Amino acid sequence: MVTGGMGERDWRPFVYGGLASCVAEFGTFPIDVTKTRLQVQGQILDKQHAKLKYNGMIDCFLKIAKQEGFASLYSGIWPAVLRQATYGTIKFGTYYSLKSIILEHKNGKESVTVNIVCAVIAGAVSSAIANPTDVLKVRMQVQGASANIGLVDCFKDVYTHEGISGLWRGVNPTAQRAAVIAAVELPVYDFCKGRLLSILGDNPSNHFLSSLCASFGSAVASTPIDVVRTRLMNQRKLKKCGGLNNQTHIYTGTADCFIQTFRNEGFWAFYRGFIPTWFRMGPWNIIFFVTYEQLKHFY
């Protein structure tokens, strides 16, 4: 992916990955807000079924814009951008750098197995490091702009009342989700891009189609884990900063959240928010990979 000397290989995938991730995040963030709102609704609170406020992605988008204002569709954007500046930089930089190092030792022979291993490592490590920004993003997305809570205030509130562990709430499903997404998304993109080179060449039309295929596969594989991750991240003891309205935890951990969600809401609850997830992953991947490839060509 990146050739040349060691110094040349070290920094470019990291910088390009971080910049392209931030651009893609700004372009698709309102869809991510609707996904988060859909994923947290329907949980069991005080042994009563919570009422479903939104009837799908479009209904959720319109209600947020009408009832809370357009600004609420960008609630949590700054921790999201901060997350991409760390997660995106580490994930894509690590993936392409690891792959480049391995390919040098294998005389340039690329394989799906190598790509998957590199992607899993890159996804899990980067998401675990960036988990605090994900927690802040989810809390601010659920609360909306009406709460008037900024990034610094949200960070202080979580740290003060929940400690350092509160910033790593949901880190296990987050790392699992990131590993699954990376294991599907990056190898599928590279595979499709390689197969389309002879037909379309190394140009935006190839990057567009390859990223679209990658986004669908990663959405199907990751949405159940993403539902659990979002619910665990939103769960806390206090009301402030986007927590649940009751004063107790619903879930004791990842496994308990999976079990309770399946038992109380059924299998399809794990695909709540799938449409906005796919609708976000599609444009996000398209913007990211087209931006990434153009940065490579530009420099």
> Which CATH number belongs to the domain containing residue 76 in this structure?
1.50.40.10
Residue 266 resides in a domain: yes
Q: Residue 98 to residues 1, 14, 103, 105, 174: CA-CA distances in angstroms?
A: 10, 12, 9, 11, 22
Residue 1 resides in a domain: no
Split at pLDDT 50, 70, 90, the class of 50 is: low
The range of the structural domain enclosing residue 127 comes to 6-298
- CA atoms in the 13 A half-sphere facing the CB of 175: 13
Residue 136 resides in a domain: yes
Q: What is the pLDDT of residues 66-108, one digit of tens each?
A: 998 888 899 888 888 888 888 888 888 888 888 888 887 766 6
Residue 218 resides in a domain: yes
Number of structural domains the chain divides into: 1
Give me the pLDDT at residue 44, please. Answer: 61
Split at pLDDT 50, 70, 90, the class of 122 is: very high
Neighbours of 256 (CB within 10 A): 14
Q: Residue 144 to residues 51, 122, 130, 147: CA-CA distances in angstroms?
A: 18, 31, 22, 6
Its pTM stands at: 0.68
Give me the pLDDT at residue 245, please. Answer: 44
Q: What is the pLDDT of residues 127-161, one digit of tens each?
A: 999 899 888 888 888 877 666 777 888 888 888 88
**Mean per-residue pLDDT, 121-128:** 91
Measure the CA–CA gap between 40 and 155, rounded to whole angstroms: 21
Residue 100 resides in a domain: yes
Q: What is the pLDDT of residues 103-112, one digit of tens each?
A: 877 666 778 8
b (16+ CB within 10 A) / e for 114-139: bbbbbbbbbbbbbbbbbbbbbbbbbb
